[in-house]
Chain A
Amino acid sequence: MTATSLTVRIQRTPATVAQADTFDVPAHEHQTVLDVVSWVQQHADPTLTYRFACRVGMCGSCAMMVNGVPRWTCRTNVNKVLRDGALDIAPLRNFPVIKDLAVDMDPFFDKWTEAEGQHHGSRSRDEAIAPVDPDSPDRAAANAGIECINCSVCYAACDTVAGNSDYLGPAALQRAWTLLNDARDTDRDGILDAVSGSGGCHNCHSMGSCTAFCPVGLDPMSAIAGLKRATMRRAWGKG
């Protein structure tokens, strides 16, 4: 990198004076978008509010819109997303904003619950653990989605969520799909009922933004397609 500084525009809520939203940040060869936001907070404006925790792509706390695209900022190298030497940073799309870059995640996690995203076990702690065949196709389908870190990048990327606030969204539906394929989960009908309502999987237009932007390379769009097939099979009495 030849430039010595970056122009960083940060969308503030509630809006502050215009010049407070643009910052000159020292440029380094290797720095993440989260490093840049942290530099602003530590050196330019201590009132800037944002959220992060692990800084290594595990906790899913630091997602933001970067140049119009939802990204996990702790693992996003600035050099790969710079546009004309500038960064436009905004709170995640499709969420109510609390302040600055911190959004209210309640709708996202409430929808996990609505989609029956919790494990429905049948055994007590005194019983043996249910056997799981690691090579079964169901297990492979479940494994494909269980590494979700709840960063909500897919939820921010989803145009169906943007147009339909009841839609459960890619992460919650993918979670339901992993449980549906989990041999230990006992509430198959409950899960299929939960994803068949007016905000359920059938609203997905298969546009694929969730899969395109998932930072850990998961494929929620295919999981949702799986839910559609499972609900259809049940409707025809075949599962």
Chain B
Amino acid sequence: MLDMRLYLAQRLTALLMAPFVLIHLGVMIYAIQGGLTAAEILGRTQGSALWFLFYGGFVLAAGIHGAIGLRVIAHEWLGVPKSALPLLTWGTALGLIALGLRAVIAVTWGGA
């Protein structure tokens, strides 16, 4: 139940997420080498426009990518009817993005 638009959106978001995941893991491994507390992490991420854009973009890409994937699984494996798929796709995407952005805002906004 994928037309070309959804297919393209899923591939493009995958393309974006690949470097996001690598950078996320790389920075995480690098940053904890000398031990790191939650306060130290927040001290570096809060107020950083760069980390906001990085994780904000990550969340947007993941929300879109995941919603399209779940749409296919819901239709092909769970038999969710075609008419319910737009609502399911948009609901999942917006839900994932809302949850993700909430976390991103908590980690990258505010602070000292």
Contacts and interface: CB of A to CB of B under 8 A. Distances in A.
Q: Are the chains A and B members of one assembly? A: yes
A164 B3 contact: no
Given A166-B1, A166-B82, A202 B7 contact: yes
B2 A203 contact: yes
A160 B106 CA distance: 41
Instruction: Report the interface size class on chain A.
Output: 10 to 19
B8 A232 contact: yes
Nearest to A236: B8
A164 B78 CA distance: 11
Nearest to A204: B2
B1 A198 contact: yes
Interface residues of B, number: 12
A198 to B, nearest CB: 5
Contact of A197 (B3, B76, B77): B3
Contacts of B72: 203
A231 interface: yes
Contacts of A202: 2-4, 6-7
Contact of B76 (A164, A196, A200, A232): A164
A45 to B, nearest CB: 35
Interface of A: 160, 162-164, 166, 196-200, 202-203, 228, 231-232, 235
